[in-house]
Structure 1
Amino acid sequence: MLTDGFHDIPSGKVAMVVTYLEMRTPHLRGAQLPDGLTFEEMSPNVASYRKLYRRVGDDWLWYGRNLLPDADLVTILDDPGTRYFTFMKDGVPEALLELDFRQEGECELAYFGLTSNLIGTGAGAYLMDRAVEHAFAAPITRLHVHTCTIDSQQALPFYRRSGFTPIMQKIEVAEDPRIYHGYDRALAPHVPIIEPKGDPKA
């Protein structure tokens, strides 16, 4: 249990406040699909998933799925309890929506994001409406998601506008992927790099 006050974060790490949110009844914003986009379900393989995951998430230091071995990622991608959607523009996927139904009676909005090409176009609101529709088309009692303070500053207000209610917060500390996992050190300039003492590979 964390006590009140300040707590040192080890060098070479990133620290984030994670907010968990849920939706118990479907809420639709009635957003329109921007011109030039089609909303499509997809069946990604490991290579196509990793490419899209990086295009959508690199600016926000998404790292979880990139650290999974291929075999573990295949298990998730091939599970009938997971579904994947995107926006196609000029034949290129420009969004990642991943719905996880593997917990009975629930759906997790496991990943939700747009490439930089679509941010600010209104595509996010339309994508969320489709996420809510597909989630509650199944026999679930709640749709849930979490976001954190190294994600876009727009994420938490967006989820709340979309009908999600915050229910819990946690502190997460993890290895900075720019130091330990080969991410470009210019990514996520809003998150400072605190250099580790000594060789980070040691």
Structure 2
Amino acid sequence: MTSVDVHYLQILSLATLKSKALPEKYQDRVQLIEAQRPQPELNRYLYAAVGGDWYWTDRLSWSYQQWLDAISGPNHRTFICYLDGTPAGYFELHKHPQADVEISYFGLLPDAYGLGLGGWLLTRCIQEAFDWGASKVWVHTCTLDHPAAMANYKARGMWHYHTEKEQRDTSQPSPGPWQGANRPRIEPPAR
């Protein structure tokens, strides 16, 4: 078992968001599209592709019905970031009874690391949450997540308000599709 710090961060107002612009070279190549219909296969794919290297394991054994229940209804939204028509990242928002909105899942696929999309995608995520009527937007991350996660949340104006310790089983390789193998970098073609 590995001791993991789980950090909770929040932002209380859109006015305190420290926006990050989309890099100029991707202006005409990036789209953010909300998935309007619940589709468990899509959310499971994004969850595994983004979180596989970071021990996102709690949903991997879910049935189709569990996925459908989690992503259906008026309190859940999924947004997908596409670069050149290919998924580059995503986020899921969940509205709680007091109108606080949780960033349930957020991240980039490995091919999108280092392209400057993370800060922009988090900016859009927080904007979408407040546009949805959020009284506050919050997220939790942990020491197993991507090393840039905490810095990105703080850079956008979220502040840390709580930490918990958990024990997680990390004895097996991360369940990522390539289990942490060295992936060749596939650069988006220049346009």
Is the shorter-chain TM-score for this pair beyond 0.5, marking a shared fold? yes
Q: Is there any run of 5+ residues in structure 1 with no aligned partner, and where?
A: 1-12, 190-202
Assess, with a 3 A threshold, how the Cα gap between structure 1 residues 32 and 174 changes in structure 2: closer, same or farther. Answer: same
- Give RMSD over aligned pairs: 2.3
Q: How many residues align?
A: 175
Match of residue 161, structure 1, among 145, 155, 158: 155
Match of residue 38, structure 1, among 31, 41, 54: 31
Match of residue 21, structure 1, among 9, 13, 16: 9
TM-score (norm 1): 0.78
Q: Which secondary structure state, in structure 1, belongs to the residue aligned with residue 114 of structure 2? A: coil
TM-score (norm 2): 0.82
My pick for the range that moved more, 133-142 or 80-89, is 133-142
| Residue identity (%) | 26
Q: Residue in 2 aligned with 1:129?
A: 123
2:137 equivalent to 1:147: no
Q: Which has the larger radius of gyration?
A: 1
| AA at the equivalent of 2:107 | G
Are the aligned partners of 1:61 and 1:187 in contact in 2 as well (CA < 8 Å)? Answer: no
Q: Residue in 1 aligned with 2:57?
A: 63
Shift in Å at residue 70 of structure 1? 2.2
Q: Is there any run of 5+ residues in structure 2 with no aligned partner, and where?
A: 182-191
**Distance of 2:131 and 2:62 partners within structure 1:** 30
Q: Residue in 2 aligned with 1:99?
A: 93
**Distance of 2:167 and 2:64 partners within structure 1:** 24
Match of residue 75, structure 1, among 69, 72, 86: 69
**Distance of 1:125 and 1:24 partners within structure 2:** 18
Are the aligned partners of 2:5 and 2:165 in contact in 1 as well (CA < 8 Å)? Answer: yes
**Distance of 1:177 and 1:101 partners within structure 2:** 34
Deviation track 1:148-199 (CA, whole Å, cap 9, x = no partner) reads: 00111211111111111100100111333837xx93697359xxxxxxxxxx
Q: Which runs of 4+ in 1 moved over 6 A?
A: none
My pick for the range that moved more, 25-34 or 90-99, is 25-34
| AA at the equivalent of 2:179 | L
**Distance of 1:185 and 1:46 partners within structure 2:** 18
Shift in Å at residue 107 of structure 1? 0.2
